[in-house]
């Protein structure tokens, strides 16, 4: 077994979910991720915890067969809920042998299934949990990479010195957390300002998401003004939307366009009122993620990028006295900040062409 | 997908576990059995039941890693128990990519793990359950067959008209259930008599075991007299024991020998007092099982054989007023009855050279 797989398992156990003796653990994985499942079983055995392996979320061939045969009416399965209620640690491994396995499932049936499973999702999120990636060939293909190249990419991004990454990111949290106003400028196409006053900034350093590597907060919903061109393509429900451009006034998207599949963007924005407002501002700081791979678990943490999401804001990123933007959607989109770009916080440039002010001072 | 896999899934759902709308189902399988798992998901979706796939019992590579890393002290995992408590139907699919995957696990650690999982096993046995086989290449190898040959063998044995099989076997139940004494003779080497008075005879037609294909009861423990040579090799804890010969007096084994690995046989018989007495007499009646495959799920149902087990008798096969032979072991051994052999019940020949009396009368 590639030693980086054991390293990955060790980081999940020690850094991400703080595995303890006696913990009841569920590992959910597709069989293509078997090596990581085996490495996790070694760690789980070593720590005196109790493993159970399922392939519920990611065993997509079975799920597809089930959903195509079902009538679209689902109840919350009480055995799955009982399992998660008695679980301390939930480890979800993303990996597939075909990332479009559920392409021929009726989206309404899928949505009804997700809806019935919502109490199980909520229960999982109340535990120590981690979502990570195994570099299976089909995932490499989605990233338009060779399997070996993608393996290197994933394990470089995941098997990091997370304490050092946390400290690097803490510099940015220190700037953003007490800030009032943020301005993001890139080339001629992006110049947007927003208030983050009173909203906490969180440091994501590889706990619930592995890889981590961003700091993020929520804009005050009606404060966003200006224009943004998102350089990186947006993938929504299997469709690629390129060159998304949004214009904000009083926090609301008043104009939008896209190079390809603009109607997908329109659908997203028309979901509900909150879908036309921002729910997240994030700053990608994991420089081992140096390319776009059509996988938001990685893309939003890419070094030298910022991302904004239309839709729902995370509870933890909204101050007690502030409004939380609510929506059925949360769709992230990414701006490349590596060239001809800067981030200003309360009038001071804190990043220019991808280099942070606290990095310059360390030179 | 081979249509015989969908037929197999349909038989499991309809015949073996009587799948109902709203049932919470657990399917436990190794990834090599994915096709059958997928076919089961189609049936489960069609019936409006709720599937969850685990690879706990059969995902042996993870189990091996866990057991080798563990310290040998286990508790009953409450999340796995909670899952099974809320489960209506448990389907265990035997299949592996290497049937000797746990060969380098300390047997004491394995035993301690089994012990801790005993409450989960008991819980499973209280549900509608089915144990079946998927013909994976490694299982074909164990059977000393080609993969395609083994596929034909498994699906012929499993995808049967089980109602017709039940009716065929009912003829034998009718003979054996009210009987007092059974005598089994084969060649010069086997001549054994035993009382089955007051002990019910059960008809196994593919419900909890798929394939089924035997009728079985328990001998009265101290009634067994005579000698048996078991033609078919016995596999116990991965070791092959050939030409097992047992001599009984007052129900107890008073002499034993074997061609190969006799010490394994001695170990079994020395387990406890009950291990030297018979706990089962079974008559194999599934003629699609026409060869020995080192897999007791099939071997004991082979047409034209009888099997006897030393050790524990099943509760259901012991009459209320009769003694139940108890033991920590239950080890089945098989006698070929196809040539120069007969079964006598209360002095009447009911089978000769593999042909039953009720078959002759139908000619």
Span B23-35, pLDDT tens digits: 999 999 999 999 9
Residue B62 has its nearest CB partner, among A53, A78, A80, at: A53
- Tell me which chain A residues have a C-beta less than 8 angstroms from the C-beta of B128: none
Q: What are the chain A neighbours of B67 within 8 Å (beta carbons)? A: 45
Alpha helix (H) residue ranges in A143-218: 147-158, 162-176
For chain A, percent of residues with pLDDT exceeding 90: 86
Chain A interface disruption, residue of B22, B55, B84, most A CBs within 10 A: B55
Under the banding of pLDDT at 50, 70 and 90, the label for residue B363 is very low
Contact A34 B34 (CB under 8 A): no
Rounded Cα gap, residues B317 and A353, in angstroms: 80
Radius of gyration of chain B measured on its C-alpha atoms: 21
Give the E-state strand segments of chain A in sequence order: 24-28, 50-54, 89-94, 128-133, 181-186, 190-195, 202-204, 209-210, 214-217, 225-230, 234-236, 239-241, 244-249, 252-257, 278-284, 305-311, 330-336, 341-345, 348-352, 355-356
Shortest distance between the Cα of A154 and any Cα of chain B, in A, equals: 22
- Per-residue pLDDT of A60-101, as tens digits, reads 899 999 999 999 999 999 999 999 999 999 999 999 999 888
If you search the block for the tokens 């116990």, which residue do you land on?
B236
Sign (positive or negative) of CA dihedral A9, A15, A21, A24: negative
- What local confidence, expressed as pLDDT, does residue B103 receive? 85
Which backbone phi and psi does A68 adopt, to 5 degrees?
Answer: -70, -30
**Under CATH, which number does the domain B3-159 receive?**
3.40.1830.10
From the CA of B35, how many Å to the nearest CA of chain A?
9
Q: What is the CA radius of gyration of chain A?
A: 21
Chain B residues lying within 8 Å of A78, measured CB to CB: 24, 86
Half-sphere exposure of B278 (CA within 13 A, CB side): 32
Q: Cα B117–B119–B123 angle (5° rounding)?
A: 115
Chain B: give the shortest CA distance to residue A10, in Å.
Answer: 13
Using one digit for the tens of pLDDT, what is the confidence trace for A290-341? 999 989 999 999 999 999 999 999 999 999 999 999 998 899 999 999 999 9
B203 in Cβ contact with B283 (< 8 Å): no
Task: For A44-58, write each residue's pLDDT tens digit.
Answer: 999 999 999 998 765
Q: Which residues 6+ apart lie within 8 Å of A173 measured at CB?
A: A201, A202, A203, A215
CB contact under 8 A, A51 and B45: no
Nearest to B86 among A48, A66, A82 (CB): A82
Q: How far apart are CA B154 and CA B163, in angstroms?
A: 18
User: Residue written as tokens 């400028």?
Assistant: A185
Range(s) for CATH 3.40.1830.10 in chain A?
A: 3-159
Q: Cα dist. A86→A26, A124, A126, A361 in Å?
A: 10, 10, 12, 49
CA pair distance A30, B324, nearest whole angstrom: 45
Q: Whose structure tokens read 């440091």?
A: A203
Reported as type and span, the H/E element at residue A64 is helix A60-69
Distance CA A100, CA A94 (A): 13
């Amino acid at each position: 077994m590639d030693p980086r797989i054991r390293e990955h398992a060790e980081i999940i156990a020690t850094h991400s979910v703080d595995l303890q003796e006696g913990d009841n653990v569920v590992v959910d994985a597709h069989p293509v991720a078997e090596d990581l499942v085996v490495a996790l079983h070694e760690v789980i055995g070593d720590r005196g915890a109790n493993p159970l392996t399922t392939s519920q979320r990611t065993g997509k061939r079975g799920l597809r067969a089930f959903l195509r045969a079902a009538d679209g009416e689902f109840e919350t399965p009480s055995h799955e809920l009982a399992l998660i209620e008695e679980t301390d640690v939930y480890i979800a491994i993303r990996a597939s042998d075909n990332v479009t396995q559920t392409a021929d499932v009726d989206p309404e049936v899928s949505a009804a299934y997700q809806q019935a499973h919502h109490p199980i999702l909520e229960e999982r999120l109340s535990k120590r949990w981690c979502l990570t990636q195994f570099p299976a060939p089909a995932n490499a293909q989605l990233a338009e990479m060779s399997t070996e190249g993608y393996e290197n990419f994933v394990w470089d991004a995941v098997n990091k010195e997370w304490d050092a990454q946390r400290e690097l990111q803490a510099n940015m949290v220190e700037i953003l957390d007490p800030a009032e106003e943020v301005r993001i400028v890139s080339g001629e196409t992006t110049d947007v300002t927003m208030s983050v006053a009173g909203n906490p900034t969180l440091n994501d350093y590889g706990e619930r998401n592995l890889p981590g590597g961003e700091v993020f907060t929520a804009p005050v919903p009606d404060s966003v003004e200006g224009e943004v061109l998102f350089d990186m393509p947006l993938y929504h429900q299997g469709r690629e939307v390129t060159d998304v451009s949004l214009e904000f006034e009083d926090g609301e998207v008043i104009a939008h366009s896209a190079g390809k599949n603009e109607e997908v963007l329109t659908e997203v924005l028309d979901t509900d009122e909150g879908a036309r407002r921002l729910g997240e501002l994030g700053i990608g700081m994991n420089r081992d993620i140096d390319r776009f791979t059509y996988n938001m678990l990685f893309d939003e943490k890419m070094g030298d990028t910022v991302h904004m999401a239309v839709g729902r804001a995370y509870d933890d990123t909204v101050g007690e006295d502030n409004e939380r933007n609510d929506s059925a959607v949360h769709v992230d989109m990414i701006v490349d900040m590596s060239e001809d770009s800067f981030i200003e916080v309360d009038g001071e440039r804190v990043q220019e062409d991808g280099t942070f002010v606290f990095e310059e001072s360390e030179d």
